[in-house]
Structure 1
Amino acid sequence: MSAMSSCLIRLRYEISGRVQGVYFRKTVEDYISFLNSSQKTGITGWVQNSNQGTVIGIVETEDNETKKHIDTIKQFLTKGIETYEVQDPWLKSEKQKFAQKGKIIKVKQAKFDEKKVNERLYKEFIVDKNAKFESFQLI
């Protein structure tokens, strides 16, 4: 950790739509592993399927210098998202647990569009060309 580090930087996300059974979770894990191995980011976190049929996860770092990599992950997760809206950043119970602030982004009926995705990432990471993400949250 550098001398400039000051707080935990955390990205929480939930993606719904056709995201289970299409290797989406593994795609996210592979992408973050790639960033860690190539950029030495020190990003930690997890990703898992939820009982509601969504994919949820958290990525975080304690180093301000690696914040740009969290932003890169956010961009990766939102590739192909056409619309979104920003909502209240934390639930009341969350505010009591964490001092950090974040934004929640919800996406409604966004389609995964091959034209909007970097061709290399599409071929390496996306298995199902017809995947449709109905909602997306960044917390």
Structure 2
Amino acid sequence: MAGSANRFVSVDYEIFGDVQGVFFRQHTYDLACQIGAVGWVMNTAKGTVKGRVQGTLRQVEHMKQFLAHRGSPMSKITKYEFTNDKELVNLDYNKFSITAGDW
């Protein structure tokens, strides 16, 4: 990506497995804040966790590795999906947040 140093990326995600009731959202929030990524995370009615993360390519790749392979200490990730990868000129969010679930 030529000129990507001044660009941001965005990706949507959904994480499957034992990811609710195990502080998955909190650990996701903590890591995003620590590395400076922005976006959101929430529980879904079907027992998954989904959200969007935005930042530099390095920040987003770091979050994707966490979401797909690490999660919270008590979580068990069985499947993950990343969709809507795109490059951004400006971020859509100014912080990372835990939002209410889609009940």
Question: TM range, normalised to the smaller chain?
Answer: 0.5 to 0.7
Q: What fraction of aligned residue pairs are identical, expressed as a percent?
A: 32
3-state DSSP of counterpart to 1:79: helix
Given candidates 61, 66, 76, the residue that maps to 1:132 is 76
Q: Cα–Cα, structure 1 residues 60 and 52, in superposed 2: closer, same or farther, change >3 Å?
A: same
Q: Could you tell me the TM-score, scaled by structure 2's length?
A: 0.67
Residue aligning to 2:68: 78
Which one has the bigger helix percentage? 1
Deviation at 1:69?
1.1
> Is the aligned partner of 1:54 residue 2:48?
yes
3-state DSSP of counterpart to 1:58: strand
> Is the aligned partner of 1:69 residue 2:69?
no
Which one has the bigger strand percentage? 2
3-state DSSP of counterpart to 2:12: strand
Runs of 4+ in 1 over 3 A off after TM superposition: 3-8
Whether the 8 Å contact between 2:69 and 2:77 is mirrored in structure 1 is no
3-state DSSP of counterpart to 1:20: coil
Distance in 1 of aligned mates of 2:59 and 2:39: 13
Q: Could you tell me the TM-score, scaled by structure 1's length?
A: 0.51
